[in-house]
Structure formats: C-alpha cells, structure tokens
Amino acid sequence: MENGMESNETNQRKKGWWCFLVLLLVGLMELGLHFYQRQDVVSEQDWQNVRTLVASWIQQEDWLTFSPDWIEPVGRAQMGNALATVERIAAPDETRFPRAIELSIRNHNRPELRSWKKVKEKRLGRITVRLFENPTPVSILSDLVQEAKKGALLVSRVQSEHLASCPQVFQQVQTGGFTFGPAIAAQRWVCPGGSLVTVTVVPILDYRPRQCIYLFHLQEGASVRLIFPRILFGRALHGHHGLYANAEHEQKGAPVKLSFSIGQSIVGQVTHYDGDGWKGFEFDTQTWAADRAELTVDIVSSINRDRMYCFEADTR
C-alpha cells in the first residue's frame, strides 16, 4: 500500500515538472516571437528616410504603390497627400503609368510589376524602395474621370425615349460610412427621381480604392446617360467598372449594363455581374483615331436595389 502511495506521489511530481517545462517552453517561445516582431517593425525613422527618398525619385506621372497590400494604409499616411495622391493610390490600374515606385517590406513584390523593368532599388531599414519602368507605356488622350471633374459632362435620365436633364450642383460633401456607400463629393449631377452621379473613391469587392464616376440609385426601367462633348480618340477606349464592395458580396443583385457610342455607332458594351469585382474592358476606336467627338455613355439595370455602381475609362 505504502509503495503504491509513493508511486502515485512520484507520478504527480513528474506531471508537475512536465507541466512546468511546457509552460516554460511556451513562455520562451512567446518571448522569442515578441523580440522577432519587435525587430520586424518599421520604425518612424525608416518611414522618414523613405519619404525623403521617394520625394527625390518620384515624377508627376509615376505610380506609388505598396507591397503587401496591408501596409498601404500606414504607408499612405506616412507618405502624406503630396506623394500619396488620389490619382496614385486610387488609380484604375497600373497600365497608365510610365514608371512605378514600390515600397516593400518582408521582400514582397506586387504581381503587376513582375514584367516591368527594375531601374534601381534601395533598402532603408525595414523598407525596400524599388523604381520600375513600364515596358509598354501608353499615352492617355482623354480621361473620363478628369473630364467629369472639370464639369465637361452632361447627364440625363432616359425613360421610354423621354430625357430628363440632371443638372450639375455643388452641395455639402456627404460621408457614406461603412454600410452606406462611398462619400458623395460636393460636385454632383442630380436626376429627377433620386439618381445621382459624382466622382468619388469607391472601395470595390477586394476593398482596394478606385477613383471613378459613381452612380447611386439606378432607377428601374430607366437609364442614366452621360455625354462627354469633346473626347480625343486614339486606338482604344480602355476602362473598368464595378460596384461598391458591400453591394455585391451576397451576389444577388441585378446586372448593370454599360455601353459607349459615338453618334449612331456603338463603340462597345459590357455587363457587370455580382462577383466580377473591378472588371476591365477595352474597345477598338481606331476608326475615330485623332478625332474629337461626342461620346455617349448609357448605364442601365433592371433593379435599383444596392446598385452602387461606378466606372472609369480613358482613350489611348
């Protein structure tokens, strides 16, 4: 009996020692991870040095981007509005830029830049700064987003062949909030029945920001028509369209159809379905190359619920 009791006590002591060793090992692992994470943190001094370097490298038409994506909010704040402009951070894609500056940590690289020529690279603390050149640069002739921001746009609501003008107005900026859509800029076109057109930044399905022409409250049975009076055409009309992220997560919304025409000629049509995200398109415009002409854009959907739609396009 005594031997049995002693054996139980010995086993209990062994279990206690094993528990202590396990806790000690876990504690040491946590301490090691803590020091590793501390070493991997980008310091304020690193960001200051990078900001100075970027300011010396960057040119007006350059793209500024961050890798991986999750450092962008911090990087954007550290670079400031003068470097991290809306045109760079909320760009439709990389193809319009002749050069790109990438700020990278942990040896990440943007997939869009894999085919670009790396001109130079410099490491400052935990951040690697790379300068790339676009191997196939393009010349942007007319940008519909910029045309709209200049007010060079006529908007109307079309229903059963009847056109109702949507006047341009300037009102107080409206913030959308997380569930209520993107912010509504002061400059906007307001249609009878509540449809609205403005230029703003919209988080698309992957939550990346995109500056685009935003249409709110597309009305059933009616289309919104945008007329750009003097667009300079080249070889192609290149663009993207999408929906506000929360508007297509459930993938139950009606498709949105976008069409472009010059006079009686249809340049191209494309339809956005829930789940498409930021969907690109390109139409041949060589017939009108080097000409200035009126471009008509029509947007229509069969159901208006949650159709927080936006698009952008340029001629090149």
Q: Dump pLDDT digits (tens) for 60-88.
A: 999 999 999 999 999 999 999 999 999 99
Residue 51 included in any domain: yes
- Among the candidates 90, 105, 133, a domain finishes at 133
Cis preceding-peptide flag for 255 (omega within 30 of 0): no
Range of the domain at 226: 142-315
Same domain, 269 and 121: no
pLDDT, tens digit, 9 for 90 and up, residues 97-122: 999 999 999 999 999 999 999 999 99
CA atoms within 13 A on the CB side of 213: 30
Same domain, 98 and 122: yes
Q: Which residue has the tokens 């007319």?
A: 142
Residue 196 included in any domain: yes
Count: domains in the chain:
3
Average pLDDT along the chain: 90
pLDDT of 12 reads 63
- Measuring CA to CA, which residue among 297, 231, 235 is closest to residue 270? 297
- Among the candidates 116, 133, 150, a domain finishes at 133
Residue 152 included in any domain: yes
How far apart (Å, rounded) are the C-alpha atoms in residues 125 and 49?
A: 9
Same domain, 283 and 156: yes
User: Does residue 158 contact residue 140 with C-beta atoms inside 8 Å?
Assistant: no
Greater model confidence, 20 or 106 = 106
264 pLDDT exceeds 90?
yes
Rounded (5°) CA angle 173-179-185: 15
Contacts 24+ apart (CB under 8 A), 147-153: 147/228, 147/231, 148/197, 148/199, 148/213, 148/226, 149/187, 149/199, 151/187, 152/228, 152/229, 152/230, 153/189, 153/226, 153/227, 153/228
User: Does residue 234 contact residue 267 with C-beta atoms inside 8 Å?
Assistant: no
User: Does residue 210 contact residue 280 with C-beta atoms inside 8 Å?
Assistant: no
Q: What is the CATH number of the domain that holds 200?
A: 2.60.120
Residue 37 included in any domain: no
pLDDT of 70 reads 95
How far apart (Å, rounded) are the C-alpha atoms in residues 224 and 227?
A: 10
Residue 77: in which H helix or E strand, if any?
Answer: helix 72-79
Same domain, 148 and 236: yes
Same domain, 158 and 296: yes
Q: Which amino acid is at 165?
A: S
